[in-house]
Amino acid sequence: MPPKVDREKCDGCKAEKESLCEQVCPGDLMHLGEDQKAFCRMPRDCWDCMSCIKACPKGALETRIPYQLGYHVARLIPMMGTNTITWTCIDLNGKVERYQYRNRGSDD
């Protein structure tokens, strides 16, 4: 499923030459529209690698968990830290759980 873009939060990565989600997508799927908001231009080609979601500095992207696992209201939202990544998982009933892992390469 392609990432869902929060259009209020997305600022088009104004500070960058090319938006971060465009830079990191291995399939070259993320793109800025004329309104400078990101979107996935070929949703069927997205394989949920979550690179764009992790890279977004505004927290404007989140993934929808496929319906086979949790229907569309369920979502996973990563928050990148210096040495950790925190995943917020919101299930079908709105229950929120958080998991924190050390990033690969962190040395503490």
In eight-state DSSP terms, residue 54 is H
- Whether 87 is catalytic: no
Considering beta carbons, is residue 58 or 91 the nearer one to ligand SF4? 58
Q: Report the distance separating Cα 10 and Cα 12, nearest Å.
A: 6
Helix (H, G, I), strand (E, B) or coil at 53: helix
Catalytic residue among 42, 47, 49, 67: 47
Q: How many residues does the chain have?
A: 108
The structure tokens listed for 13 are 């990565």
Is 65 among the residues that bind ligand SF4 (CB under 6 A)? no
Question: Which residues contact ligand SF4 by CB under 6 A?
Answer: 2-3, 5, 10-13, 19-21, 24-25, 27, 29-30, 38, 40, 46-52, 55-56, 58, 60-61
